[in-house]
């Protein structure tokens, strides 16, 4: 090499050679600079394109659109990494593509976990809303059931009241509002059974207006009905708690007196007789007078059916035979 240089120097060609080498060096420098500039422009375009795909993924409205944007970015990176220079080496743009592809993987992982977090949060929110809606529905159903139950209770109460009213009407005499024979037939066996099991004494009194036909004939039947109503009021006022007053038939009234021995029963019925006798009947019709006769009896161990009532009625007939407006009674034998 030194010999070649010496020959070129002695022949005067050295300057030419140096000039040529200098030109060659300048050519390669300019070419390399152009390559770097071109690659720099390519890298910028690559970066802008990649960023566009990422922005599409981030702005996607649906998961399918986001996955498609990521897939486009992934294919773009793979295509760019596959480009090599003439010597088979990966070019600078390919290296950057590899870096961007790794960044893409991180973006995908980030969105995966973000989507998972949002899904979990939405699921929890849905659970809260579901539980809350269930609680509201249960509360509404409970409230409605309570209202329906209250309405049903009102209906049941009304039915009970109506049943009681109907039963009461079936047990009452429509004119005097005293109990009727049907009620007597229900209660008398019960009272006798209680007495015969060793209970307190049971007394009965049969009451009948004196000369009631005369009142109807003189003052008409409507006046007779009014007199019966007033007598029923007087009897009801004189009764003790537990006593039962019954319109036995026509102008006859029967009073059952539980827990009442014969002397007390006679005293109570006598008070009724005197109240009827001293009542001012002239307010109903001038010249109207009303009296009644009564027979009292007390229960026996052998009584059954209507035997107690029959004895009270027999004592009533005895009072009528003895002049009316009086009371006849007899103790148990």
Three-state SS at 231: helix
Residues 66 and 103 in one domain: yes
pTM of the model as a whole:
0.54
Residues 58 and 126 in one domain: yes
The CATH number linked to 242 is: 3.30.70.270
Residues 167 and 251 in one domain: no
Flag whether 176 is in a domain. Answer: no
**Domain end residue (candidates: 153, 171, 189):** 171
> What is the extent of the structural domain holding 208?
181-330
Burial (CB < 10 A; 0-12, 13-18, 19+), residue 90, is middle
Name every residue whose Cβ is closer than 8 Å to that of residue 319 and which is 6 or more positions away in sequence: 293, 294, 295, 326, 327, 328
Residues 137 and 224 in one domain: no
CA distance linking residue 244 with residue 250, whole number of Å? 18
Residues 32 and 10 in one domain: yes
Flag whether 240 is in a domain. Answer: yes
Give the pLDDT of the chain (333 residues) as one tens digit per residue.
555 545 545 555 545 545 555 655 555 555 555 554 455 545 566 667 767 777 777 777 777 877 787 777 777 666 765 544 434 443 444 555 555 556 656 556 656 666 666 666 666 666 676 677 777 877 887 888 788 888 888 888 877 777 776 666 688 988 999 999 999 999 999 999 999 888 789 999 999 999 999 988 888 889 999 999 999 999 999 999 999 999 998 899 999 999 999 999 999 999 999 999 999 999 999 989 999 999 999 999 888 889 999 999 999 999 999 999 999 986 444
């Amino acid at each position: 090499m030194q010999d070649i240089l010496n020959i070129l120097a002695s022949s005067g060609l050295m300057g030419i050679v140096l000039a040529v080498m200098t030109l060659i060096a300048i050519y390669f420098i300019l070419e390399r600079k152009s390559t770097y500039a071109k690659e720099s422009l390519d890298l910028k375009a690559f970066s802008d394109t990649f960023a566009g795909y990422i922005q599409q993924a981030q702005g996607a409205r649906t998961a399918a659109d986001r996955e498609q944007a990521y897939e486009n970015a992934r294919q773009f990176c793979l295509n760019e990494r596959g480009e090599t220079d003439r010597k088979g080496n990966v070019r600078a743009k390919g290296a950057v593509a590899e870096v961007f592809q790794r960044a893409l993987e991180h973006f995908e992982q980030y969105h995966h976990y973000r989507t998972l977090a949002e899904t979990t949060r939405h699921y929890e929110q849905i659970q809260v809303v579901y539980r809350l809606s269930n609680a509201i529905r249960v509360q509404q159903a409970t409230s409605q059931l309570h209202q329906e139950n209250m309405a049903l209770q009102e209906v049941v109460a009304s039915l009970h009241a109506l049943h009681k009213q109907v039963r009461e009407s079936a047990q009452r005499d429509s004119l005097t509002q005293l109990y009727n024979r049907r009620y007597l037939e229900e209660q008398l066996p019960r009272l006798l059974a209680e007495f015969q099991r060793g209970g307190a004494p049971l007394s009965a009194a049969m009451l009948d207006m004196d000369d009631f036909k005369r009142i109807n004939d003189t003052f008409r039947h409507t006046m007779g009905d009014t007199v019966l109503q007033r007598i029923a009021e007087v009897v009801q006022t004189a009764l003790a708690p537990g006593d039962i007053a019954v319109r036995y038939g026509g102008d006859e009234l029967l009073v059952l007196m539980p827990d009442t021995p014969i002397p007390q029963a006679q005293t109570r019925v006598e008070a009724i007789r005197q109240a009827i006798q001293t009542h001012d009947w002239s307010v109903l019709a001038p010249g109207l007078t009303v009296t009644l006769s009564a027979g009292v009896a007390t229960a026996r161990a052998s009584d059954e059916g209507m035997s107690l009532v029959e004895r009270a009625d027999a004592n009533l007939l005895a009072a009528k035979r003895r002049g009316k407006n009086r009371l006849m009674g007899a103790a148990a034998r």
